[in-house]
A and B are shown apart, each in its own frame.
Chain A
């Protein structure tokens, strides 16, 4: 496997006042991947990003980006890192185009109007290039922040809740933008409350809670390991006893013995095949059913389940 583009070891942050926002975090990010950091409010996501981007002073630990220790070689590293913050902080009286040009210069790049035009067009902001930022809607402001973060062509991009407050259509649009960035070889770390988003885009998912990384895995593997398929079969008539051929499946009877509930599989289609076998077995046994509802558990179910377990364990 290639060298991680970002490597975090033992990262701890205790804020003044004593809040321990990060607790001994280890994390490796691979070049070219989209990594989704999932966690509830206050989990430490923004603090983690801040520590890498120079907004937060780590209490302890090391951060290595592009093979260089950030504490010493921060200049060269920061020139290659982009940040879209969670808060909509923009220079309200500046125009879109000038704000993006400022970012380009600030990060040490030669003023490149063609590149700025590309970026603005790709984010559907070109028509608004001469508008003052304060006159834009919230979703557009967020896109301005993205444009600013892209102005120096970062190789590693942090998106702290890029789609917060963005409507569904625009969110889809933004997913495409992010996918396009990945195509261009940009490594992306995003945080989100929309698990749908991580499921849609991420290659790997990290779950953080209480300043600790609870789990990091390939999205696929995580869903395979923790995912399940659930099927609810409405029976034509209540069943007294499950025939052994049926009881061999991971099933149970519910709701007045008129529903057969299946839970199994691996979140990657294995469960669906088994449900098909179950349906055939029911037919063979002469058990009639009126409907069959099937769904794979999502990352959300996994997430909620995992955090629930942690909460119970705590």
Chain B
């Protein structure tokens, strides 16, 4: 298997530069959204809520809110990153370069994972302004955030190749990711749901993601952490396989 680190790094740097060019939006928007959630759910409503599984409500919702923003931003950022060159025609350069699927993904997905970490740090910093919390397993949390960011960057990448219009680009994050994250135990513990809704809620894959991140934060979770990690890794692998197939067949990339 060939791998050209310079090509991958060139892509990585360009993707990072693109993020910094729009740093204002990419920072301001998550800070604002997170603050609003904390004002409404953390302070106003949260003050009247019982602690969940021993975690004060304000702190309890942090992993879910983080996941909400992380999934949305990472997916749309990655999909945009590949959709734009396709629609403007600048993709000719990538296609004519000695660059395969490995370099492309290392560049795009590496950048997305980095951005995910930065985003997470910003959100956690903002959350700190509103509530006190301790992260039980910071390394696991960082690893899990990167893993999720990388997986959804891959997912976004597929989306950006599939989409043939701006509308389609936005539709999956809006119609699927956001609702599923809301219903995925961001604001409540799935264990507290009455039957049969607890079982129904676990049909939502994003519930496993939220639960996994919450475990790394507070040591409590709705499903075993191994299951969350396994599911995320499985999703990541599936995305890589799909992208490898896309590159192999040239679907939507080469005429």
B-contacting residues of A (Cβ < 8 Å)? 15-16, 50, 53-57, 74-76, 78-79, 81, 83, 85, 87, 89-94, 98, 102-110, 148
Are B254 and A56 neighbours in the complex by a CB distance under 8 Å?
yes
| Binding-face segment, B59-67, B97-105, B191-199 | B97-105
Closest to A49 in B: B96
B contact residues around A15 at 8 Å (CB): 255
Asked if B11 is at the interface of the complex by the 8 Å CB criterion, the answer is yes
B contact residues around A104 at 8 Å (CB): 10
* Cβ distance A106 to chain B, nearest Cβ, rounded Å: 5
B contact residues around A103 at 8 Å (CB): 93
Interface residues on B, range: 20 to 34
B contact residues around A105 at 8 Å (CB): 6-7, 9-10, 13
Are B7 and A54 neighbours in the complex by a CB distance under 8 Å?
no
Are A107 and B98 neighbours in the complex by a CB distance under 8 Å?
yes
Closest to B87 in A: A89
Alpha-carbon gap, A139 to B133, bound state (A): 58
B contact residues around A50 at 8 Å (CB): 255
Are A75 and B98 neighbours in the complex by a CB distance under 8 Å?
yes
Are A148 and B93 neighbours in the complex by a CB distance under 8 Å?
yes
Are A57 and B254 neighbours in the complex by a CB distance under 8 Å?
yes
Which residues between 93 and 141 of chain B lie within 8 Å of chain A, taking CB atoms?
93-100
B contact residues around A90 at 8 Å (CB): 88, 90
A contact residues around B13 at 8 Å (CB): 102, 105
Alpha-carbon gap, A11 to B97, bound state (A): 21
Of A76, A91, A110, which contacts B90 at CB under 8 A? A91
Closest to A92 in B: B88
* Cβ distance A108 to chain B, nearest Cβ, rounded Å: 5
Alpha-carbon gap, A87 to B250, bound state (A): 21
Are B254 and A102 neighbours in the complex by a CB distance under 8 Å?
no
A contact residues around B10 at 8 Å (CB): 102, 104-106
The 10 closest A-B CB pairs, nearest first, are: A105-B10, A89-B89, A79-B98, A53-B96, A78-B98, A75-B98, A106-B10, A108-B4, A89-B90, A106-B97
Alpha-carbon gap, A55 to B95, bound state (A): 6
CB contact under 8 A between A55 and B96, given known A105-B13, A108-B4, A108-B7:
yes
Identify which of A74, A81, A91, A93 gathers the most chain B CB atoms within 10 Å of its CB.
A91
Are A85 and B89 neighbours in the complex by a CB distance under 8 Å?
yes
Closest to B17 in A: A98
Are A81 and B90 neighbours in the complex by a CB distance under 8 Å?
no
Identify which of B9, B100, B255 gathers the most chain A CB atoms within 10 Å of its CB.
B255
Closest to A74 in B: B98
Of A53, A75, A94, which contacts B2 at CB under 8 A? A75
CB contact under 8 A between A54 and B88, given known A75-B2, A108-B6:
no
A contact residues around B9 at 8 Å (CB): 105
Which residues between 62 and 97 of chain B lie within 8 Å of chain A, taking CB atoms?
88-90, 92-97
Alpha-carbon gap, A197 to B90, bound state (A): 27
* Cβ distance B191 to chain A, nearest Cβ, rounded Å: 48
Alpha-carbon gap, A242 to B255, bound state (A): 62
Are A106 and B93 neighbours in the complex by a CB distance under 8 Å?
yes
Q: Beyond A56-B255, A106-B93, list 11 extra A-B contacts (CB 8 Å).
A: A16-B255, A53-B96, A54-B254, A55-B96, A78-B96, A85-B89, A91-B88, A102-B14, A105-B13, A108-B4, A148-B93
